[in-house]
Structure 1
Amino acid sequence: MFKSLSFENNNNNEDTLITPTPSKGVNMDLFWDDALDERSGDDEELGRRNHDGPRLKPVSSHMNEPQQSFNNTSGSLWPKPNSSTHPYSVMNQIQLNNSSLNDSTFGITSELKSKCSLDSENNGATASDFEIASNLHKRKRASAGAAVVSDSLNDSLLEECEEDDDPNSLGLMRDDEREPLKNISNTVAAMMMSKSRQSLGGVSSPIKKKKKINLIDFEKKRRETRVLNVVPQITCSGQDHHHVVGSSPGLYFSSIETALHEAQPFDTILLHEGTYHVQRTLSIKVEGIHLKGISNKVHLIGMCPSNVLSIEHKSITISHLNISHDTQQCTSTSTAVSSSCSTSGTNCALISIDMQSPLSDEIFQIHIKRCELFNSFEHGILVSGAAEAVIIDCSIHNCKKIGILYTHNARGLVQNNLIYENLYEGITFRGRSHPTVKNNKIFDGHSGGVYMRENSHPYIFENEIYANRRSGIFITNKSKPYIKKNSIHSCKENGIVLKNNCSGKIEGNDIYQNAYPNLYIDDECETEIRGNKIRLGKSYGIWAKGKCKPKICENEIVDNVGKNVLITESAKPYFSENKIYYSRSVLQTEELRGIVLKDLCKPTFELEEIYGHSSSGVDIGGRAQPLFFACKVTDNSKNGFLIRDYSSPTINECIVSNNVYPNILAIDRAESVITKCKIHSGSQTGISIKGTPITTIRESEIYGNSFSNIKIGGSSSTDIIESKIYNGRQSGIWVKEDASGKIFRCSLFNNRRDNILMEMRGKMIISENEQDK
């Protein structure tokens, strides 16, 4: 039972910063069913604490001694039962042998001994008064402050002691009324779970409780509250408000400022038709106010370069209003600006929502509905802090800067809006903001459509982003968006740009007809790009460069001008199960290559289908070192693979067939390894090698090509090992010029001419091959 129980230090538990991924943070059940991977089990966050130094750190004179282990062998500290001893009495009456133990054996400090009454001098108790019993309780602990690692973890026997004082004096934490030592088995279980998770692929991350965005119905609380009517330029005698017989019921005011001053929680302020000139910011500081236009003919005009509306409390609704700045007078240098107006021009907006971070989980939700916001001195809507802004059915256009700006951890919902012709981006996300953007049209911007940076992680679904003068979506500075089912097209630069360590997921989008590459990936981005259509780009489909490492899977990359995929510099993307082709449905003025690799890139391609291009399917140059595994490269108008310069590709288990030029052409000083491939039915040669490349062909089948199955020339060096070369319409292998290498253990048959045709200067070593006559 006690075969190997040891105590170890563990100083390797470091705190790990866990940043929420796009699969958490929003209740996406509102929008789709299968977008997120749900975790079963407890939904509460599990965290780990980091303690400086070892757990149960000894402070006695034994600190520098190596920790001991004790085993149930001869000389064991456990007494051997005699024949008269009941077998269970050993479990229940194990005596502590002071002669064979020391404090460091158990990692017990003098202070811990005094707490647990183990010191016989101070407490008058003997070691025989204590028992070791099995702790079968498995309670949850908020934090594990003491850890003991056992090699035998099935049934751990742990020392229990009476509680006489506060264990927190030892730096230990507990969640029940027992001493921490009595709960060590729970710590062991937690450590077992942590180790098992690490063995399954990395350090376990905490389970984050998902934050939900649920639209709150404020109108339920407004049904029995007052309606405060505001009529522009009304003449009031004696008092600021009075009842008007025959009109809408409620109180009447001559100005919005007066109505806001008199408002009580959840009142409705109803603005009647007309134009309201706002000389200073209207601050809404009362909970639940609904500022509403009676029709679409209510217009608020800010007369100075500051916020028109400032929302500083929760549950506010703004609806049916037209809001703008008077941009002719609203300038920081205008002498006509009122002295009460701010002229700083810093982050002012038509509607500003700024909530300080709450100490609780209280939701600061704001609704902006059916409004038109335009001609802003800077931004249309600014959302900051703990605010949860819900912007629905609005039109936001012609702002001098950004249409909608989310910053400083703000969240919310932007849905069914028209966002267009803004001087900067239509929507910008900064500072860890994470709203949901759904079913909007973002177009004709003088800059980009959507811009995100500074760890923001928005959810962008089912939007149409098009005809912007720069990129449709620009992602940078460690942002982690989830971008799904959008249509991103006809922008003057890229469809989507990924830079500066961004990640996240781009899934199921239609990205097409953008002037620059539809998808541009740079720096050290590790974004997952899955299930998109990337088509009809006017300059490449995907361009990956820098040190990026994206995962590009199950996409359809088709009909992009020049190159469907370009990979340069030190990029290391991973491609899997993509279809990369030219459909010929659109006439192109230049030759289209499938994949072009340059510089020092090291991409991996797995299970790709590359076909139909008007030039080579794969063009490998520079010093590229790609890996192709189980790919199909067929029906291209030139080569299947063109291998040149100083590149060194590895091609495993691929099918290369039906290409017009040689299926594989290796030239210059390239070094290629071709293993377990099927290379057949080429309109010319199966494999053509010339110049000074070094090529290894191993365990492959080369057959049915119109010219020689393999042609080797120049000063190349080629090794052909354990391969089948057959059914060639000319020679099986043609060696000419100064080519060298070896043909070893190959099977050559049914070639129309010689199985091996070697000219006088050929230097091939031929041995142990099987040939027909």
Structure 2
Amino acid sequence: MTIRFNPDDKSAQHHNAHHCLEITVNCSPNIDHCIIRSTCTVGSAVCVSGQGACPTIKHCNISDCENVGLYITDHAQGIYEDNEISNNALAGIWVKNHGNPIIRRNHIHHGRDVGVFTFDHGMGYFENCNIHRNRIAGFEVKAYANPTVVRCEIHHGQTGGIYVHEKGRGQFIENKIYANNFAGVWITSNSDPTIRGNAIFNGNQGGVYIFGDGRGLIESNDIYGNALAGIQIRTNSCPIVRHNKIHDGQHGGIYVHEKGQGVIEENEVYSNTLAGVWVTTGSTPVLRKNRIHSGKQVGVYFYDNGHGVLEDNDIYNHMYSGVQIRTGSNPKIRRNKIWGGQNGGILVYNSGNTAEPWRKVYNQPFQ
């Protein structure tokens, strides 16, 4: 079956209905193998709204619409499986105002806006979706939205993969996030998502980018092969970064700058082209119990007033020194094991300093 909404006045000035298919309070139809099209420039092709609205929509094609593809709002729920959602003028899917759908195995691609947009307390469970080649982010979270996104592929976005901003939250677990033009994950403006167990790789910029007072838990991810830093923390952002593997990047492993903060602990950072960790421009992270090794330059590099704490780390086998401190930097360095650097263990120069006595630094060959 094909369902079409083609109003003569596409702007909706002369009609009240803004949706091709509308499902409202306490309605729970089964909709299967339908083609749904709308040329109206407002509203959505499919709108599910209100308490008790709980349809099952499967194997449908919601594409080529001049508005949002699927819109779920006002406490609506429902099951949405195996749908094709593509080439819509606005988001492929909107979830808003405590909407809480289950969305599985949907193919959401080539949108002229974002792939999935959750905002204004929108929720939802997204599993095994393929989200790619959308003009803006693959998945956007804003304004207290809190979706759960599990085992999806989010890739080849024309900007970023996942964008969490303006106090967004969300759990992103065991996804593959790759080959996006900007960062695989962006976190900003007091947002606090959980990014756990994902593979974040081969991005045209960085892996995870946390800026503008971003927060978040970045845990147990495999981050590799990105063109810029695997994780970048800047402008008063303060995430928890732990148990990640950050490796084989074309730039540095972790880059903390412009008053970046955060707790960075028990990560393995290795085989990156530039420094394993850079700390600069007034930044004060805590780096604890990390293994930072086998880099092509410095292990940990403090410069231009980079500060913070470096304690209980293993730093070894770098092409340059294990640690460099320069140009007004003054970190606290204690109880580290630093060995195998081809240019020495700790190099302090150009007005660098360290607040800790040298006798507290392990800085000799380690067997």
Tell me: CA distance 1:300–1:679, structure 2 relative to 1, closer, same or farther (3 Å): closer
CA shift at 1:680, angstroms? Answer: 4.3
Cα distance in structure 1, aligned partners of 2:365 and 2:267? 27
Aligned to 1:523: 235
Q: Provide the aligned C-alpha RMSD in A.
A: 1.6
Alpha-carbon deviations, 1:455-490, whole Å to 9, x = none? 111011000000011110000010001111000000
Structure 1 residue 309 and structure 2 residue 46: aligned?
Answer: yes
Aligned to 2:358: 674
Aligned to 1:350: 69
**Maintained 8 Å contact 1:467/1:489:** yes
**TM-score (norm. length: structure 2):** 0.92
Aligned to 2:15: none
Aligned to 1:491: 203
**Maintained 8 Å contact 1:288/1:317:** no
CA shift at 1:299, angstroms? Answer: 1.7
CA shift at 1:638, angstroms? Answer: 1.0
Structure 1 residue 413 and structure 2 residue 125: aligned?
Answer: yes
Aligned residue runs from structure 1 range 440-479, under 5 A: 440-479=152-191
Aligned to 1:438: 150
Tell me: CA distance 1:352–1:611, structure 2 relative to 1, closer, same or farther (3 Å): same
**Maintained 8 Å contact 1:544/1:568:** yes
Aligned residue runs from structure 1 range 499-648, under 5 A: 499-582=211-294, 591-648=296-353
Tell me: CA distance 1:634–1:518, structure 2 relative to 1, closer, same or farther (3 Å): same
Aligned to 2:35: 299
Alpha-carbon deviations, 1:417-473, whole Å to 9, x = none? 000010000000000101111010001111110001111110110000000111100
**Maintained 8 Å contact 1:650/1:674:** no
CA shift at 1:678, angstroms? Answer: 5.3
**TM-score (norm. length: structure 1):** 0.44
Q: Does the residue aligned with 2:276 lie in a helix, a strand or coil? A: strand
User: Which protein is richer in strand relative to its size?
Assistant: 2
**Maintained 8 Å contact 1:498/1:525:** yes
Aligned residue runs from structure 1 range 726-745, under 5 A: none
Cα distance in structure 1, aligned partners of 2:253 and 2:332? 21
CA shift at 1:397, angstroms? Answer: 0.3
Aligned to 1:276: 3
Aligned to 1:156: none
Cα distance in structure 2, aligned partners of 1:399 and 1:626? 47
Cα distance in structure 2, aligned partners of 1:352 and 1:604? 47
Cα distance in structure 2, aligned partners of 1:629 and 1:545? 22
> After TM superposition, what 4+ stretches of structure 1 lie above 6 angstroms from structure 2?
none
CA shift at 1:291, angstroms? Answer: 4.1
Cα distance in structure 1, aligned partners of 2:322 and 2:115? 43
**Maintained 8 Å contact 1:500/1:525:** yes
Cα distance in structure 1, aligned partners of 2:302 and 2:361? 21
Residue identity in the other structure for 1:354: T
Cα distance in structure 2, aligned partners of 1:434 and 1:290? 26
Name stretches of at least 5 consecutive residues in structure 2 with no aligned partner.
7-17
Name stretches of at least 5 consecutive residues in structure 1 with no aligned partner.
1-271, 331-347, 356-362, 584-590, 652-672, 683-773
Cα distance in structure 2, aligned partners of 1:302 and 1:416? 27
Alpha-carbon deviations, 1:566-609, whole Å to 9, x = none? 111010000111000017xxxxxxx4211111111211011100
**Maintained 8 Å contact 1:418/1:440:** yes
Q: Does the residue aligned with 1:308 lie in a helix, a strand or coil? A: strand
Aligned residue runs from structure 1 range 647-658, under 5 A: 647-651=352-356
Cα distance in structure 2, aligned partners of 1:395 and 1:636? 48
Alpha-carbon deviations, 1:140-181, whole Å to 9, x = none? xxxxxxxxxxxxxxxxxxxxxxxxxxxxxxxxxxxxxxxxxx
Alpha-carbon deviations, 1:341-364, whole Å to 9, x = none? xxxxxxx41111221xxxxxxx64
Q: Does the residue aligned with 1:675 lie in a helix, a strand or coil? A: helix
Tell me: CA distance 1:479–1:679, structure 2 relative to 1, closer, same or farther (3 Å): closer
Residue identity in the other structure for 2:218: I
CA shift at 1:677, angstroms? Answer: 4.5
Alpha-carbon deviations, 1:77-120, whole Å to 9, x = none? xxxxxxxxxxxxxxxxxxxxxxxxxxxxxxxxxxxxxxxxxxxx
Aligned to 1:319: 58
**Maintained 8 Å contact 2:244/2:267:** yes
**Maintained 8 Å contact 1:287/1:316:** no
* Percent identity for Structure 1 against Structure 2: 27
User: Which structure is higher in RCO with an 8 Å CA cutoff and minimum separation 6?
Assistant: 2
CA shift at 1:303, angstroms? Answer: 2.2
CA shift at 1:366, angstroms? Answer: 2.7
Residue identity in the other structure for 1:299: I
Q: Does the residue aligned with 1:387 lie in a helix, a strand or coil? A: coil
CA shift at 1:502, angstroms? Answer: 1.7
